[in-house]
Amino acid sequence: IPQPSPLELRKKKDVKKRILAKMRADQQSRPGTPAPVRGRRHAAVQTELYLEEISDRIIEVDGECQTDDFLDRPPTPLFIPAKTGKDMATQIKEGELFDFDVEVEPILEVLIGKTIEQALLEVMEEEELAYLWARQRAFVELRNAEFAELQRLEEQDRRIREEKERRRLEHLEKLRKQKETTEKIAARAFAKRYLADLIPSVFSNLYASGFFYDSVERDIETKFLPWLMSEVEETLQKKVLGRTMLDSLIRTVVEERLDAFDHQIEALAEEPTPTDAAPQVPGETQAADEPVTEKEETDQPVAEEQTQAADEPVTEREETDQPVAEEQAQA
C-alpha cells in the first residue's frame, strides 16, 4: 500500500484547520439565544426537512474480529520514486525577476482593502446584533405581558368552573339529603306500624325459647344438679368397688378351703386299711365295709358344705347387686 506523501498530509491538515476556523467564526458571529423566562426552558428542535432521532446516549454495538498473528517487522519506509530525466540549472541575477517596491504595492492594496472591508462588516454586524437584541427584548416584553394576561384569564376561568362545580355538588347533596330524609320518615312510619304487633309476639317466643329465665332455677340446673350427679356417681362407684373386692376375697377363701379339703381326701385315700394286712373273713366283711359307709357319710356333709360355700357368695352378690340396681334406677 503506497504511503501518502508529507505534502499531501500537510495540505489535508491545512484544509481541516481552515474548516474549523470558519466554523468557529460562524458560531461567534451567530447571535446567541437569550435566557428563557421564568417557568420556561429552551428545547432543541430540528428544522431540517428530514427529522433525525436524537438520543442522550449514542447506540453502541460491540464487534469482534480475530486476525492471525503476524511477526513483528519494521515500519514500511516512505515511497520515493526513482529519479528520471536530467538536472538543469539557470543563473538569475539579483533584481532580474522581483522588485519589492513594485510587487508589494498590489499586495498592500489587497491587505488594506480586506482589512477595511472586514472592519465595515464587523461594524454592520454589531449594529445588526444591537437591532436584533432590541427587537428580541421588545418581543420578550410583549410575550411576557401576553403570558401574564393569559394566566389571569385562565385563573379566572378556573375559578368560574370551580364555583359552578361547587354549586352543582351542593345542589346534588341537597337533593340527596331531601330524598334520604323522606325515605327515613317513610321507613320510620312503616317500622312503627310493623313493630306494633311484632314486639309482644317476639317477647313471647323468646320466653318460650328460654331466653328469659329464673336465675336461681338456672343455677340449680346448670351447677347444683351436675355436681350432685357427679357426687352420687362417685359414691356408687366406691360401693361397687368395695363389693367387688369383697366378692373376690370370699371367692379366694372358698377356693383355698376347697383345695385343702381335696388334699385331705387324697391323704385319706392313700392310708392302708386293716383288710390289706389280714385275710378277709366272711364275718369281717361287714366290718371292712363300715369305714366305706362312714367315708360316704362324711363325704356327704363336706359336699353339702362345699355346695353351700360355693352358693353363698352368689346369693350375697345377688343381694348386694339388688340395692345397687335400685339406686341406679332411682338416679
3-state secondary structure of 132: helix
Q: What CA–CA distance (Å, rounded) separates 42 from 120?
A: 33
Looking at every residue in the chain, the average pLDDT score rounds to: 77
Domain tally for the chain?
Answer: 1
The residue with greater pLDDT, 36 or 325, is 36
pTM of the prediction?
Answer: 0.24
CB atoms within 10 A of CB 94: 6
Q: What CA–CA distance (Å, rounded) separates 257 from 236?
A: 32
In this structure, is residue 235 part of a structural domain? yes
Residue 257's domain comprises 215-267
Average pLDDT over residues 123-145: 94
Tens digits of per-residue pLDDT, 164-202? 999 999 999 999 999 999 999 999 988 888 877 777 787
- pLDDT at residue number 331: 41
Q: Return the residue matching grid coordinates 339529603.
A: 177
In this structure, is residue 57 part of a structural domain? no
The residue with greater pLDDT, 324 or 59, is 59
Q: How confident is the model at residue 272 (pLDDT cuts 50, 70, 90)?
A: low
Does 43 score more than 70 pLDDT?
Answer: yes
Q: Are 313 and 251 in contact (CB under 8 A)?
A: yes
Angstrom CA distances, 62 to 58, 65, 69, 274, stand at 13, 10, 22, 137
The residue with greater pLDDT, 329 or 86, is 86
- pLDDT at residue number 184: 93
- pLDDT at residue number 65: 78
In this structure, is residue 286 part of a structural domain? no
Q: What CA–CA distance (Å, rounded) separates 183 from 185?
A: 5
Tens digits of per-residue pLDDT, 151-160? 999 999 999 9
User: Which of 252, 242, 258, 225 has the alpha carbon at shortest distance from 313?
Assistant: 252
Residues written for the chain: 331
Q: What CA–CA distance (Å, rounded) separates 240 from 238?
A: 6
Give the range among 131-145, 207-221, 314-328 with minimum mean pLDDT. Answer: 314-328
Q: What CA–CA distance (Å, rounded) separates 155 from 314?
A: 115
In this structure, is residue 153 part of a structural domain? no
In this structure, is residue 261 part of a structural domain? yes
- pLDDT at residue number 110: 92
Cα-Cα-Cα-Cα dihedral of 146, 147, 152, 154, to 10°? 110
Average pLDDT over residues 199-206: 79
Q: Are 331 and 232 in contact (CB under 8 A)?
A: yes
In this structure, is residue 220 part of a structural domain? yes
Tens digits of per-residue pLDDT, 82-106? 877 777 777 777 767 777 788 888 8
In this structure, is residue 187 part of a structural domain? no
Average pLDDT over residues 297-301: 41
Give the range among 96-110, 147-161, 202-216, 232-246 with minimum mean pLDDT. Answer: 202-216
Q: What CA–CA distance (Å, rounded) separates 37 from 187?
A: 65
Q: How confident is the model at residue 141 (pLDDT cuts 50, 70, 90)?
A: very high
Does 254 score more than 60 pLDDT?
Answer: yes
Average pLDDT over residues 311-322: 42
In this structure, is residue 223 part of a structural domain? yes
